[in-house]
């Protein structure tokens, strides 16, 4: 059971990371928040891209740490693809998943 923890953690991290990256794209934001939602500011976009990239990196690291490099490289790669499909499916069929509250708007907080 403990062997499954690495891949599960990796999948969650990759899903959140890729979702952040997806939400920096105007087309995906429109699908999630609607047409009238203000576009994401430059600083927010930068922060989301950085956060997404870090989470994806952590996902790969989680697999490499628990499965070793030989199995870890193919496993991390395929789990990233699985997470990407999950993000695509969520954006397509349950976009509400990405707006539990309000969207992240660092620019507006300043």
Partner 1 sequence: MSGGSRREALTWLHRWLGLALGALLFAIFWMGTLAVFDREIDRWMMPSTRLAPTGAPLSADTVWQRFRAEATGSPLWVLTLPSEREPVARVQFAPVDSAARAIRIYGSHKGIPLPRERLAILLIDPANGAVLPDPGTRGATGFFFPFHWHLMLGEGSVGQWIVGLAGLAMLISILSGLIVHRDLFTQFFTLRAAKRGGRLTLDLHNAAGVLALPFHVAITFSGLAIFYFLYLPAPLEHTHQGGERQLFVESRSGYSRPKAGRPGEMASLDAMIARAETLWGGGRAARVSITYPGDVAAYVQVTRTVEDRVVNDPRPVYFDAASGTLLKFAPIRPVASAQRYIAGLHFTGFNHWLLRWLYFIFGLLGCAVIATGGLFWLQRQRKTGGPSRALAAAEAAIVASTTGLIGATVAYLLANRLLPPGGSERAEAEVVVFGLAWVAFAAHAVLRGRAAWREQCAMIAAGGLAAVACNAWLTGDNLVRTLGRGDWAVGGTDLVLLIGAALAGWSALRLGRAAPARANLVTRASAR
Which residues are at the interface with partner 1 (CB under 8 A)? 4, 7, 18, 22, 25-28, 70-71, 74-75, 77-82, 84-85, 87-89, 91-93
- Nearest-CA neighbor of 75 among 21, 19, 9, 17? 9
Residues 6+ apart with CB under 8 A from 73: 64
When the beta carbons of 50 and 108 are compared against partner 1, the nearer one is: 50
Which stretch of DSSP H or E encloses residue 10? helix 2-22
Which C-beta is closer to partner 1: that of 46 or that of 108?
A: 46
C-beta of 62: minimal distance to partner 1 in Å? 14
Q: How far is the CB of 82 from partner 1 (least distance, A)?
A: 7
Alpha-carbon distance of 89 to 14, in angstroms, equals 14
Min dist. Cβ of residue 36 to partner 1 (A): 20
Q: Among 108, 102, 106, 109, which residue's Cα sits nearest to residue 34?
A: 102
Residue 100: CB minimum distance to partner 1, A: 19
């Amino acid at each position: 059971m403990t062997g499954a923890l690495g891949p599960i953690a990796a999948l969650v991290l990759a899903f959140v990371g890729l979702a952040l990256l997806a939400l920096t794209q105007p087309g995906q934001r429109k699908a999630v928040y609607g047409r009238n939602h203000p576009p994401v500011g430059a600083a927010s976009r930068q922060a989301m891209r950085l956060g997404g990239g870090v989470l994806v990196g952590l996902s790969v690291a989680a697999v490499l740490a628990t499965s070793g490099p030989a199995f870890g490289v193919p496993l991390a790669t395929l789990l990233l693809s699985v997470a990407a499909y999950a993000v695509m499916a969520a954006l397509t069929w349950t976009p509400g998943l990405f707006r539990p509250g309000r969207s992240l708007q660092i620019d507006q907080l300043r």
